[in-house]
Amino acid sequence: MAKYDALYKRSIDDKEGFWAEAAEALHWDRKWDKVLDDSNAPYSRWFAGGMLNTCYNALDRHVENGRADQLALIHDSPLTESQQRFTYRELRDAVARFAGLLAKNGVAKGDRVIIYMPMVPEAAIAMLACARLGAIHSVVFGGFASNELATRINDAKPKAIVTASCGIEPGRVIAYKPLLDGAIDLADHKPSFCVILQRPQSPAPLTAGRDLDWQAAMEDVSPHPCVSVAATDPLYILYTSGTTGQPKGIVRDNGGHAVALHWSMKNIYDVEPGEVYWAASDVGWVVGHSYIVYAPLLNGNTTVMYEGKPVGTPDAGAFWRVIAEHKVTTLFTAPTAFRAIRQQDPEGKLLANYDLTHYRALFLAGERCDPDTLVWAQEKLKVPVIDHWWQTETGWSIAANPMGVEPLPVKPGSPTVAAPGWDIRVLDGDGHEVAPGTIGAIVCKLPLPPASLPTLWQAQDRFHEAYLAEYPGFYKTGDAGYIDEDGYIFVMARTDDIINVAGHRLSTGGMEEVLASHPDVAECAVIGVADSLKGQVPLGFVVLNAGCQRVDSEIQAELVKLVREKIGPVAAFKLVAVIKRLPKTRSGKILRRTMRQIADGESFKPPATIDDPAILDEIAAALSGLGYARR
Ligand code: COA
Ligand code: AMP
Q: State the Cα–Cα distance between residues 499 and 600, nearest whole angstrom.
A: 14
pLDDT at 629: 61
Q: Is the pLDDT reported for residue 116 higher than 70?
A: yes
The DSSP secondary-structure symbol of 432 reads P
Centroid of ligand 2 to alpha carbon of 256 (angstroms): 21
Ligand 1 lined by 503 (C-beta under 6 Å): yes
Of 184-188, 295-299, 526-530, 601-605, which gets the smallest average pLDDT?
Answer: 601-605
- State if residue 531 touches ligand 2 by the CB under 6 angstroms criterion: no
DSSP states of 370-405 as a string? -HHHHHHHHHHH-S-EEE-B--TTTSS-SEE--TTT
In tens, the pLDDT along 128-143 reads 999 999 999 999 999 9
Q: Which amino acid is at 629?
A: A
How many angstroms does the Cα of residue 625 sit away from the middle of ligand 1? 26
DSSP class of residue 438 equals -
Q: Which of 88-102, 522-536, 609-623 has the lowest mean pLDDT?
A: 609-623
DSSP-derived 3-state class of residue 484: coil
Ligand 2 contact via 369 beta carbon (within 6 Å): yes
Nearest atom within ligand 2 for CA of residue 415: 19
Ranges of each domain in the chain: 2-308+388-476, 498-625
Q: Which of 362, 570, 574 to mutate to test the pocket of ligand 1 (most atoms within 8 A of CB)?
A: 570
Chain segment 575-627, per-residue pLDDT in tens: 999 999 999 989 888 999 899 999 998 888 888 888 888 899 999 998 888 88
Alpha-carbon distance of 424 to 418, in angstroms, equals: 7
- Per-residue model confidence (pLDDT) at position 466: 96
Atom 6 of ligand 2, residue of closest alpha carbon: 391
- Position 243 scores a pLDDT of 73
Does the domain made of 2-308+388-476 have the CATH classification 3.40.50.12780? yes
For residue 202, report the phi and psi dihedrals to the nearest 5 degrees.
Answer: -170, 80
Q: Is 366 in the pocket of ligand 2 (CB under 6 A)?
A: yes
Q: Which residue has a Cα nearest atom 45 of ligand 1?
A: 503
pLDDT digits (tens, 9 = 90+) for 228-268: 999 999 999 999 987 777 899 999 999 999 999 999 999 99
* DSSP character at residue 584: B
pLDDT band at 423 (very low <50, low <70, confident <90, very high): very high
| Ligand 1 atom with the shortest distance to the CA of 534 | 34
CATH 3.30.300.30 fits 498-625, yes or no: yes
Structural contact between residues 356 and 325, judged by C-beta atoms closer than 8 angstroms: no
pLDDT of 497 > 70? The answer is yes
Answer whether 391 contacts ligand 2 (Cβ < 6 A). Answer: yes
d(CA 559, CA 434): 43
Neighbour-count burial of 42, counting CB atoms closer than 10 A to its CB (0-12 exposed, 13-18 middle, 19+ buried):
middle
Position 631 scores a pLDDT of: 45
Q: Whose CA is nearest to atom 16 of ligand 1?
A: 569
> Is the Cβ atom of 289 under 6 angstroms away from ligand 2?
no
CA of 365 to the centre of ligand 2 (A): 7
- Give pLDDT, residue 612: 86
Q: Which residues contact residue 222 at a Cβ distance below 8 angstroms, ignoring those fewer than 6 apart? A: 97, 100
Ligand 2 touching residue 286 (CB < 6 A): yes
Rounded to the nearest 10°, the torsion over CA 153, 158, 163, 169 is: -30
Task: State the ligand closest to the CA atom of 166.
Answer: 1
CA of 282, nearest ligand number: 1
For ligand 2, atom 20: residue with the closest CA: 368
Q: 335 CB under 6 A from ligand 2? A: no
Is residue 334 in contact with ligand 1, taking CB distance under 6 Å?
Answer: yes
Mean pLDDT score of the chain: 96
Contact 132, 99 (CB under 8 A): yes
Give the pLDDT mean for 188-213.
Answer: 98
Q: What average pLDDT score do residues 171-192 get?
A: 97
Q: Residue 126 Cα, ligand 2 centroid: separation in angstroms?
A: 27
CA distance 100 to 53: 16
Nearest CA to ligand 1 atom 22: 570
Q: Whose CA is nearest to atom 1 of ligand 2?
A: 391
Q: Which ligand is nearest to the CA of 116?
A: 1
Rounded to whole angstroms, how far apart are CA atoms 337 and 385? 14
CB 269 within 8 A of CB 256: no
Task: Give tens-digit pLDDT for 561-571.
Answer: 999 999 999 99
309 CB within 6 A, ligand 1: yes
CB 520 within 8 A of CB 576: no
- Could you please report the per-residue DSSP string of 275-337? SEEEE-S-TTSHHHIIIIIIHHHHTTPEEEEE-S-SSSSS-TTHHHHHHHHHTEEEEEE-HHH
Phi, psi of 82 (to 5 degrees): -145, 160
Q: How many residues does the chain have?
A: 631
Q: Is the CB of 282 under 6 A from ligand 2?
A: no
- pTM confidence score: 0.96
Single-letter amino acid, residue 414? S
Ligand number, closest to the Cα atom of 390: 2
| Whether the predicted pLDDT of 183 surpasses 80 | yes
> How many Å lie between the centroid of ligand 1 and the Cα of residue 570?
6
CB of 334 closer than 6 angstroms to any ligand 2 atom: no
pLDDT average, residue stretch 318-340:
98
Containing 86, the helix (H) or strand (E) segment is strand 82-87
| AA letter at 589 | K
